């Protein structure tokens, strides 16, 4: 299967089939490999059919060989130069809303433990001026 096919070599091939996950490329009469969708070209590929069609002649780089499973991993992207990245525009800092500052108020508002509240309720229940008659 791996006659003259070595990892790292760049070979010419012909696209023999296209699936949603990649393209099959014949390297010679007996050998075929798969170019995964992520290895088609630089950048995001939504639909392989936008980049390749059956019968296309392509240059591929051999990424992996699994003799036991009879699989060869190929890449078209590795044979092309990466596009030059344009300098990104400096982003403006986002305006962030300031967190509200809640002043701490003395007078029993806020979180109290049940133990503290229970004692306060007992004291209130014993006050004569609060008892309804």
Q: What is the pLDDT of residue 33?
A: 92
pLDDT digits (tens, 9 = 90+) for 75-100: 999 888 877 776 666 777 777 777 77
Pick among 3.40.50.300, 3.20.20.70, 3.20.20.140, 2.40.50.140: CATH of 10-79? 2.40.50.140
Q: What is the pLDDT of residue 119?
A: 85
Buried/exposed code over 27-52 (b: 16+ C-beta within 10 A; e: otherwise): beeebbbbbbbebbbeeebeebeebb
pLDDT higher than 80, residue 122: yes
Hey, which bits of the chain come out as E strands? 10-19, 22-26, 32-36, 57-66, 71-75
Q: What is the pLDDT of residue 125?
A: 81
pLDDT higher than 60, residue 3: no
11: β partners: 60
* Count of beta carbons in the 10 Å neighbourhood of residue 72: 23
Q: Using alpha carbons, list the distances in angstroms from residue 45 to 4, 17, 78.
A: 30, 17, 15
Q: What is the pLDDT of residue 63?
A: 92
More confident residue, 110 or 54: 54
Q: Using alpha carbons, list the distances in angstroms from residue 18 to 38, 75, 103.
A: 14, 14, 66
Give the integer Cα–Cα distance in Å for 29 and 92. 57
Instruction: Please answer whether residues 49 and 18 qualify as being in contact, where contact means their C-beta atoms are separated by less than 8 angstroms.
Output: yes
Nearest to 41 by CA among 53, 30, 52, 55: 52
pLDDT digits (tens, 9 = 90+) for 7-55: 888 999 999 999 999 999 998 888 899 999 999 988 888 999 998 999 9
* Count of beta carbons in the 10 Å neighbourhood of residue 91: 6
């Amino acid at each position: 299967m791996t006659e003259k096919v070595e990892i790292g070599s760049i070979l010419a091939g012909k696209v023999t089939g296209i699936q949603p996950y990649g393209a099959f490329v014949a390297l010679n009469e007996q050998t075929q490999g798969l170019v995964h969708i992520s290895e088609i070209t630089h950048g995001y590929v939504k639909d392989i059919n936008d980049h390749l069609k059956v019968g296309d002649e392509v240059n591929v780089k051999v990424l992996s060989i699994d003799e036991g499973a009879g699989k060869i991993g190929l890449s078209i992207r590795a044979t092309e130069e990466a596009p030059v990245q344009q300098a990104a525009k400096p982003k403006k800092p986002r305006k962030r809303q300031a967190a509200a500052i809640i002043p701490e108020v003395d007078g029993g508002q806020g979180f109290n433990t049940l133990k503290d509240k229970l004692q306060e309720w007992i004291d209130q229940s014993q006050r004569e001026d609060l008892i309804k008659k």
